[in-house]
Structure 1
Amino acid sequence: MTHPDSRKRYAVVGNPIAHSRSPCIHEAFARQTGIALSYERILAPLDGFAATVREFFDQGGAGLNVTVPFKEQACALAGERLSDRARLAGAANTLWMRDGLLHGCNTDGVGLVDDLIRLGHSPAGRRVLLVGAGGAAKGVALPLIEAGCAALRIVNRTPARAAELGARLASQLPPMASRITAGGLDEAEGDWDIVVNASSSSLGGEPPALPAGIYADGALAYDMVYGSAETPFMRQAQAQGVRHRADGLGMLVGQAAASFAIWNGVAPETGPVLEALRRSLQDGA
């Protein structure tokens, strides 16, 4: 059975999903590139993700974005047909069919690195502190080290989880293993050029319990969470004199652009879309 609409059909699937800004982002990319598509939100039952994916593609769907809490299940559904980024993360946020088989990728890290470059803080040659060791951190760790950072330290409230992620990353890239270290939040000592908060602390209204004095001169404090005001992590950095601070809205647009490019073979411009989305966020839309 095929979908009656002649446009390519895409969607984002999650639970909850009503808050997702993916439709407006991809629709903006479509207008920019002249590609005819539709993009919708799909609320999948917590115990029905696989069936939702199967139904979507059986009805002629061209590509799916995947959000909380289904990224790990998406990875499992794609099996061996995963990008290295998705395999390391154990999570996929982008699915598509090729030759009748489901494929998966994780574009979160690409979105982060592209946004850091846009902000003038390319990871290349920089010392990067990654806060968190959950799904968000796993999605960005490999792209950060591949971007050429001089050092990557992963810290987490549970040090063993940080160590596990560091070991997995080192096994993926043995030549860069010496650049990768891990520890607890209280072991974040050093002068870091870029500090990325990939923990869920800001969602809970509190910054991560990081020691003072971890920011190098001119450092960037980057929170993967976004909102209409500065996050608790960003305010924590401001109190320590950090002038360069950013939230994750640019990463959101960047990962969407990477998904769009996988599906359509063309890379859209993120700048105008990000500006429009920021205005909408500040207006409370």
Structure 2
Amino acid sequence: MQYFAVFGNPIAQSKSPAIHQMFAQQVKLNIDYRAILAPIGGFETSAAEFFAQPHHIGANVTMPFKHDAFSMCDVLTNEAKSAQAVNTLFKTAEGLLGHNTDGLGLVQDLIRQQVTLKGQRILVIGAGGAAKGIIAPLFAQDIHSLHIINRNEQRAKELVAQFVSGQPNWKFTAGGFDSVKHDQYDVVINATSLSMNGEVPDISNHIYEETTCIYDMVYRKEPTAFLKHAHQQGSRNVSDGLGMLVGQAAKSFELWTGQVVNTTPVLETLRKQIQG
């Protein structure tokens, strides 16, 4: 038996235990995966106690502990370094390895939906932690360019500056919500939490008209406010972030077990459960 967990606060709402159990059933592995409520300010102690036990192999980390997890790791993957946050922990001979599978999960879900990324112009709305974790994985798909916009324009420009010094060949730009009045993009990704409050980013509606995909990184039982608005403007290929959730979990599972899983049946089961 191998033991895994997800740490968060709150944590009762987590879909991770169900997702990983379905992965394990696919590849006929016997695992124990549980949700652990870590106290605010006590994540590192909780995680250390978990990994001190034999056969406790890996863990996922959700809000608000991704930066705490980053700080406690002995080894970091390039994805974790890029995001400056860790959502996956793995006990190795070199110590605790920290990985970030969020951006990989997004890319995996887009590819699953047959969305072309190579050579495409990408617009990312929002410049917080969610956006930061997807930038490098998107550029790894040989996209043409990425423009990131934020209500606070300075924050978006600071995020670009963090990356371009080490990646001078990236076409990576930033601006405020009004910087896309006349531009067109192939893929538009909402990395804000506005949809959780039923709100829509205050950007020009022409953005939605000629895209190949509109993607909201959050998900709800019903289509999010962002996706509803995009559909009203003429977008037909719209997607919420449930596939990203399953995709990032699959990348964690692969790291821990070496097993590649099929995300589609897991996503379909989860969608039915959420919609009731």
TM-score bracket for this pair, using the shorter chain length: over 0.9
Paired with 1:21 and 1:133, the residues of 2 have a C-alpha distance of 25
Matching residue of 2:172: 180
Deviation at residue 50 of structure 1 after TM alignment:
0.5
Matching residue of 1:65: 60
Paired with 1:210 and 1:102, the residues of 2 have a C-alpha distance of 42
Instruction: Give the root-mean-square deviation of aligned CA atoms.
Output: 1.2
Deviation at residue 172 of structure 1 after TM alignment:
3.5
Change over 3 Å in CA distance of 1:254–1:148 after alignment to 2: same
Matched, 1:222 2:215: yes
Paired with 1:92 and 1:132, the residues of 2 have a C-alpha distance of 19
Matched, 1:149 2:170: no
Structure 1 counterpart of 2:77, from 72, 76, 83: 83
What is the identity, as a one-letter code, of the residue corresponding to 1:34? K
Matching residue of 1:107: 101
What is the identity, as a one-letter code, of the residue corresponding to 1:255? Q
**Residues 97-106 or 60-69, more deviating:** 97-106
What is the identity, as a one-letter code, of the residue corresponding to 2:210? D
Matching residue of 1:3: none
Deviation at residue 100 of structure 1 after TM alignment:
5.4
Whether contact under 8 Å (1:192, 1:216) holds in the other structure is no
1:50-85 Cα deviation digits (max 9, x unpaired): 100100001232101000000011111115x11111
Matching residue of 2:153: 159
- SS across alignment from 1:161: helix
- SS across alignment from 1:53: helix
- SS across alignment from 1:241: coil
Matching residue of 2:31: 37
Matched, 1:280 2:270: no
What is the identity, as a one-letter code, of the residue corresponding to 1:88? S
What is the identity, as a one-letter code, of the residue corresponding to 2:195? S
Matched, 1:11 2:5: yes
Deviation at residue 169 of structure 1 after TM alignment:
2.2
> Which consecutive unaligned segments of at least 5 residues does structure 2 have?
none
Paired with 1:87 and 1:48, the residues of 2 have a C-alpha distance of 23
Deviation at residue 216 of structure 1 after TM alignment:
5.1
Paired with 1:260 and 1:35, the residues of 2 have a C-alpha distance of 11
Paired with 1:195 and 1:51, the residues of 2 have a C-alpha distance of 39
- SS across alignment from 1:251: helix
- SS across alignment from 1:65: strand
1:145-189 Cα deviation digits (max 9, x unpaired): 11111110011111111112112222332222xx11111122134
Paired with 1:118 and 1:18, the residues of 2 have a C-alpha distance of 28
What is the identity, as a one-letter code, of the residue corresponding to 1:266? Q
Whether contact under 8 Å (2:8, 2:38) holds in the other structure is yes
Matching residue of 1:121: 115
Paired with 2:198 and 2:153, the residues of 1 have a C-alpha distance of 22
> Which consecutive unaligned segments of at least 5 residues does structure 1 have?
1-6
Matching residue of 1:253: 246
Change over 3 Å in CA distance of 1:251–1:225 after alignment to 2: same
Deviation at residue 217 of structure 1 after TM alignment:
2.3
TM score, norm. by length of structure 2: 0.96
1:224-280 Cα deviation digits (max 9, x unpaired): 001111101111211211111100000000000000000011111111111111111
Matched, 1:235 2:228: yes
**Residues 101-110 or 234-243, more deviating:** 234-243
Whether contact under 8 Å (2:216, 2:240) holds in the other structure is yes
Paired with 1:226 and 1:277, the residues of 2 have a C-alpha distance of 12
The alignment covers a number of residue pairs equal to 274
Whether contact under 8 Å (1:113, 1:122) holds in the other structure is no
1:8-43 Cα deviation digits (max 9, x unpaired): 000000000000000010000000011111100000
